[in-house]
Structure 1
Amino acid sequence: MRLINPVDYFFLALEGRERPLHVGGLQLFTPPAGAGPDFARELYTKLVSAEAVSTRFRQTLGSVSARPKALSWRDDKNIDLDYHVRLSALPRPGRIRELLEVTSRWHSSLLDRHRPLWEIHVVEGLRDGRLAVYTKMHHALADGVTALKLMQSSLSEDPGVTGVPPLFAPHKRHRDEDAGRGPFGALKVAAGMGMEAVGLTRATAEIGWQIARERDMPLPLRAPRSMFNVPIGGARRFAAQSWRIERVRAVANALDCTLNDAVLGMCGGALRAFLLEQQALPDAPLVAFVPVSLHGRGSGDASNSVAAVLANLGTDTADPLQRMQAVTASMRQAKQMMSGLTPLQAMAVSAAMLAPFATSSVTRAVGAVPPTFNVVISHVPGPTRAMYWDGAKLDGVYPASIVMDGAALNITLTRTADTLDFGIIGCRTAVPHVQRLLIHLETALAELENALGLGVPLHQPCASLRC
C-alpha cells in the first residue's frame, strides 16, 4: 500500500459520470514499406505479450470509491493485458471521420476503478492504410506532459529498431518510485507544501501588488459568461488537425512573441468566429486557462506537476493584430506573476485562483458565481524529431484532454516533428459542431499571416490529418 499524494487524489475525488478525468491521445502511424495486412495485429500481439508492467501501470485504488479510504494505491500483481490492450477495426469506409467518432466514444467512458486506470486501443481499418492508437490513463497516474513522455519512451528515432518496450513496461527513464510514488511519497509532498507556506505569504503579497498596478490582468470571477460555462453531460466530441509549425513560428517571429502566444492568438480568432456563428459572442474578451508545466523546475517526476495562468484571448476585437497585443500583454503579466515562485508555491497560487471554479464545478452550481475562465488551452511539448514504432512512422499525436462543469471546451496541442497537432474535446451537448473550430483555426492563422504580410493565401489546406 502507498498513499496517494494530495494533487493526484484531487483528480480521483473530483471524477464523476459527467466528468471522466482521464487524459488521452490519438496517434497515427504509416506502416513501413512491405508491411503486410496483419501489421496492426502483429503490433497488438507484441503489446499483450509484454513480460513486465511498470509500477505506475500496476497500481490500483485501495477502494473504488473517492472517499478517504481510497487514499492508497495497491499493486496489482496479475495484470490482465487482454483487458487493457485492445484491437479494434473501424467501420467502413474507414475515414478519419469514423476514427474521430470512435475516439469520441472511447474518451467519454469512465475507466474501471477495479483495475489499473489505463487502456490502449490499436485501431486498423483506415482506408488510407495507416493504423491508429488511442491511449488513455487517469489524470491521477499522469498529467499531459508525463503521458507524452511515456508515449515517446515506447518509440524510437531509428526506423530500423524493433522491440522497444511499450509505454506500460519498465523503462530506465521511468522513475516509478519518485516523489509521488515511493512508500512515503505522499507524505513528502504534503510536508513540502507546509514548508513552502512561509515563502508563499510573501509571494502572495507581491502578486497582490502586481494586480493593483496592472488593472487589466485577467482575474478569477472576471471572465464573461459564455456558452462554454455551463453544466456538461458525459458524452464527448473529439476533433483533430495538424498545422505546419513553420507557419505558426513565422507569425511568432514577426510579432516578437513566443510560439505559445501565437497559438493563443490563433485560438482566440477561431473562438471569436465560432461564437459569432452560434450568435453567442460575449462583449468582453474570453479568458483562457493555460496550464504551465513545472516538470524540470525541481518538482520531481510526480504524476501531476502543473500550475495555471489566465490569458486574455482578445475575442472582443476583429483585428488579428490587436488580438495578439492583448494575448501577449496578458501572458507577460502572468509570467511576471509566477516568476520567482517555487513549483509548490506556483501550484498553491494556481489552486487558490481556481478554487471558485472547482467549488462551483463539483457542486454543479456553475451559474452561481461568475466564471474564472471560459476555455482551457494547453500546449504540451512533443517529439522534435521523427519517431517510429517497429518501423511505422508517427504521423501525429492528437491530445484528448478533459472538460468539466463550467468548462465545456478544451483545446490541447502538441508537437510531432514539424507539425503542431491540435486535439479538441467538447461536451457533445453543450458545444455543437466542434469540428467547425478546425476551419476557424485555419482562417485565424491565415488572417494573422496576411495582416503581417507573410504572403500566405487564406484557407491554405491543413497538414497531415484531414477531417
Structure 2
Amino acid sequence: MPMMPVTDSMFLFIESREHPMHVGGLQLFSKPDGAGPEYLKSLRETLMDADNVRSLFRRRPARPVNTRGFLAWAEDSELDLDYHFRHSALPQPGRIRELLELTSRWHGTLLDRHRPLWEVHLVEGLNDGRFAMYSKIHHALMDGVSALQQLQSTLSDDPLAMDGPPPWGSKRDAKPRRGRPDPLSLVRGAGGAARQLATVPQAAAKVATEAFREHTLTLPLQAPKTMFNVSIGGARRFAAQSWPLERVRKVAASAGVSRNDVVLAMCAGALRDYLIEHRALPDAPLTAMVPVSLRSRHDSGEASGNQIGALLCNLGTDHSDPAERLAVIARSMADGKRLFKQLTPLQVLLLSAVNIAPLGASPLPGFANNTRPPFNIVISNVPGPRKQMYWNGAALDGIYPASVLLDGQALNITLTNNGDNLDFGITGCRRSVPHLQRLLIHLDTALAELEYAAK
C-alpha cells in the first residue's frame, strides 16, 4: 500500500463540496468518414474490452477514506469500467451551448473516493454530427499538464490508425523497470537534498534583492481585491472557444515578445473589459499566477503527479492602451523567468510555495472575503499537440481544459495549443462570476486590439 506524497494528500485534504479538486477537459471530435449511427456505441464497447489500464487509474484512497484515505493509496483490483466510462446524449437542439452546460454540471460534482478518482463521459447528440468527450481526474493523481499528456498518449497523427487506447490506457506495454536504489545512492540523494536546503537563505536573498532593490518582482499579496476574490460555491460554469495560433504569432513577432505574453495580454484585456462591464475594475493592476512546468524536456516517463512552479505576473490592467499592457506583461514575465533561472529546482519550488502559500488559509471562515488575495486569477498555458491528431479515426477538433477553483479564486483561464489553434477553457464559480461566456467575446476583442496595436 503506497504512501501518498504530501503534494497528493494535500489535494484530498482540502477538498470539500464547495471545492472539488479535480482537473478536467472537454474534447471535440469529428467522426471518421462512413461512421454510422452505431459508431459511438461500438467504439465504447471496443474500449470497454481493452485491458491496458494504467495502474494510476486503478488507484483509490485507502479505506477508511476519512482517515487513511488522506495518507495512502490502495489499488482497485476489480475496476468497474461501466461506472467510470459513461455514454451520454445532449438534449435538443444539441448546440455547443448545451454541451457546455452539461460539462459545467459534471465539473461541479465530486468524485467518489471509494473508487478510483476519475470519470470519462462520451457524448453524442451534437447537431453538427460531431461527438465530445469530457474527462476528469483528481488533482491528487494528475496535474493539468499530466492529464493533457495522458490524452496525447492515446492519439495518433494517422487518420487510419484504429488501435488508439482508451483514455485510461497506454500505448506502452509496460513501464521500464527501475533498479532498486542501493543504500549509498539513498545517502547521496539525502545529502543532495540537504545541500539544496542549505541554499534556501541564498534564494531568499535573491528574491529580496529583486523585490526591494530592483523593484522588478511581482510578489504575493500585492493584488487588489476584485469580484473574483471571494468565497465560492460548488457549482461551476464552463466556457470554451478556439482562436488561430497564427494571429497570436503575428502579434508576438511584431511586438518582439513571446506568444505566451500575447496570450496573457489577451486575458488581461478581456478581464479589464469584463470588470468595466460590471463597474468593478480596481485602480491597481491585477496579478495572475502563471503555472510553469518543472518537468525536464527529456522526461520520457508516463505523466503523473504534480510538478508545477508558480510565477506571478503583473497584468497591467490599469493601462487602457493594449500595447502598454503587453509591454508591462512581457517585462513582468521576463523578470520572473530570469529569477527562476538563477535558482535551483528546490529553490524554485520553495519560491512557488511562497507565492501560493496564502491560499492555504482560504478555507478558514471569512479569510477570502476579508483579506487581500495573493493573486487575482490563475492563467495557465499547457503544451498540447502541434499537429492534427486523431483518436481511432476521429479527428480531434478541440481540447478545452477545465480547472480547479478555490476560495478567493473564483475564475480560472487555461488554454492549450492544438495544431493550428489555441483552445481556451474558462472555469468559473456559478454564483460569483455572472455571464461567464461574455469573457469569450472580450478575449476576441482583446486579440483584435493587440493586432491593431502591433501593426
Q: TM-score higher than 0.5 here?
A: yes
Which residue is 2:27 aligned to?
27
Structure 1 residue 368 displacement after superposition: 3.6
**Mean Cα displacement is larger for which, 292-301 or 377-386?**
292-301
Which residue is 2:86 aligned to?
86
Alignment of structure 1 residues 34-45 onto 2, 5 Å: 34-45=34-45
Structure 1 residue 286 displacement after superposition: 0.5
Give the Cα separation in 2 of the matches to 1:314 and 1:357. 23
- Is the Cα–Cα contact under 8 Å of residues 288 and 312 in structure 2 kept in the other structure? yes
**Mean Cα displacement is larger for which, 304-313 or 334-343?**
334-343
Which residue is 1:380 aligned to?
382
Check if 1:62 corresponds to 2:62: yes
Structure 1 residue 190 displacement after superposition: 9.4
Residues 273 and 115 of structure 1: CA distance in aligned 2, closer, same or farther (over 3 Å):
same
Q: Secondary structure at the match of 2:367?
A: coil
Give the Cα separation in 2 of the matches to 1:337 and 1:362. 32
Give the Cα separation in 2 of the matches to 1:191 and 1:8. 24
Residues 168 and 72 of structure 1: CA distance in aligned 2, closer, same or farther (over 3 Å):
same
Alignment of structure 1 residues 289-438 onto 2, 5 Å: 289-296=289-296, 302-361=304-363, 365-438=367-440
Give the Cα separation in 2 of the matches to 1:190 and 1:234. 41
Which residue is 1:105 aligned to?
105
Which residue is 1:122 aligned to?
122
Q: Secondary structure at the match of 1:212?
A: helix
Residues 323 and 449 of structure 1: CA distance in aligned 2, closer, same or farther (over 3 Å):
same
- Is the Cα–Cα contact under 8 Å of residues 159 and 393 in structure 1 kept in the other structure? yes
Structure 1 residue 54 displacement after superposition: 1.2
- Is the Cα–Cα contact under 8 Å of residues 251 and 450 in structure 2 kept in the other structure? yes
**Mean Cα displacement is larger for which, 37-46 or 302-311?**
37-46
- Is the Cα–Cα contact under 8 Å of residues 216 and 335 in structure 2 kept in the other structure? no
- Is the Cα–Cα contact under 8 Å of residues 13 and 70 in structure 2 kept in the other structure? no
- Is the Cα–Cα contact under 8 Å of residues 383 and 416 in structure 2 kept in the other structure? yes
Whichever residue aligns with residue 2 of structure 1, its letter is P
Whichever residue aligns with residue 326 of structure 1, its letter is V
Which residue is 2:241 aligned to?
241
Give the Cα separation in 2 of the matches to 1:289 and 1:361. 19
Residues 164 and 190 of structure 1: CA distance in aligned 2, closer, same or farther (over 3 Å):
farther
Which residue is 1:458 aligned to?
none
Residues 74 and 194 of structure 1: CA distance in aligned 2, closer, same or farther (over 3 Å):
farther
- Is the Cα–Cα contact under 8 Å of residues 364 and 405 in structure 1 kept in the other structure? no
Residues 275 and 66 of structure 1: CA distance in aligned 2, closer, same or farther (over 3 Å):
farther
- Is the Cα–Cα contact under 8 Å of residues 6 and 190 in structure 1 kept in the other structure? no
Whichever residue aligns with residue 257 of structure 2, its letter is C
Give the Cα separation in 2 of the matches to 1:231 and 1:294. 30
Give the Cα separation in 1 of the matches to 2:374 and 2:323. 25
Residues 190 and 397 of structure 1: CA distance in aligned 2, closer, same or farther (over 3 Å):
farther
Give the Cα separation in 1 of the matches to 2:239 and 2:192. 40
Identity percentage of aligned residues: 52
Give the Cα separation in 1 of the matches to 2:320 and 2:432. 25
| Matched positions, count | 446
Which residue is 1:156 aligned to?
156
Structure 1 residue 438 displacement after superposition: 0.2
Question: 1:64-103 CA distances to partner (integer Å, 9 max, x unpaired)?
Answer: 6465663111111100000000000000000000000000
Whichever residue aligns with residue 241 of structure 2, its letter is Q
Structure 1 gaps of 5+ residues are 180-186, 454-467
Give the Cα separation in 2 of the matches to 1:23 and 1:294. 18
- Is the Cα–Cα contact under 8 Å of residues 23 and 402 in structure 1 kept in the other structure? yes
Whichever residue aligns with residue 293 of structure 2, its letter is S
Whichever residue aligns with residue 379 of structure 1, its letter is N
* TM-score when normalising by structure 2: 0.93
Structure 1 residue 175 displacement after superposition: 4.9
Alignment of structure 1 residues 160-171 onto 2, 5 Å: 160-171=160-171
Check if 1:445 corresponds to 2:447: yes
Q: Secondary structure at the match of 1:309?
A: strand
**Mean Cα displacement is larger for which, 101-110 or 333-342?**
333-342
Structure 1 residue 377 displacement after superposition: 0.2
Alignment of structure 1 residues 218-257 onto 2, 5 Å: 218-257=218-257
Alignment of structure 1 residues 127-276 onto 2, 5 Å: 127-172=127-172, 175=175, 196-276=196-276
- Is the Cα–Cα contact under 8 Å of residues 154 and 170 in structure 2 kept in the other structure? no
- Is the Cα–Cα contact under 8 Å of residues 411 and 423 in structure 1 kept in the other structure? yes
Consecutive aligned runs of 4 or more in structure 1 exceeding 3 Å deviation: 63-69, 173-179, 187-195, 297-302, 361-364
Give the Cα separation in 2 of the matches to 1:3 and 1:199. 28
Structure 1 residue 172 displacement after superposition: 2.1
Whichever residue aligns with residue 81 of structure 2, its letter is L
Q: Secondary structure at the match of 2:408?
A: coil
- Is the Cα–Cα contact under 8 Å of residues 100 and 238 in structure 2 kept in the other structure? yes
Which residue is 2:184 aligned to?
none
Give the Cα separation in 1 of the matches to 2:28 and 2:200. 44
Structure 1 residue 224 displacement after superposition: 0.2
Structure 2 gaps of 5+ residues are 180-186
Question: 1:430-449 CA distances to partner (integer Å, 9 max, x unpaired)?
Answer: 00011000000000000011
* TM-score when normalising by structure 1: 0.91
Give the Cα separation in 1 of the matches to 2:434 and 2:424. 18
**Mean Cα displacement is larger for which, 150-159 or 359-368?**
359-368
Whichever residue aligns with residue 397 of structure 1, its letter is I
Residues 445 and 21 of structure 1: CA distance in aligned 2, closer, same or farther (over 3 Å):
same
Give the Cα separation in 2 of the matches to 1:231 and 1:156. 42
Which residue is 1:456 aligned to?
none
Residues 59 and 176 of structure 1: CA distance in aligned 2, closer, same or farther (over 3 Å):
farther
Q: Secondary structure at the match of 1:109?
A: coil
- Is the Cα–Cα contact under 8 Å of residues 156 and 164 in structure 1 kept in the other structure? yes
Question: 1:347-405 CA distances to partner (integer Å, 9 max, x unpaired)?
Answer: 22111221122213455511343111001100000000111111110001000001110
- Is the Cα–Cα contact under 8 Å of residues 220 and 353 in structure 1 kept in the other structure? yes
Which residue is 1:462 aligned to?
none
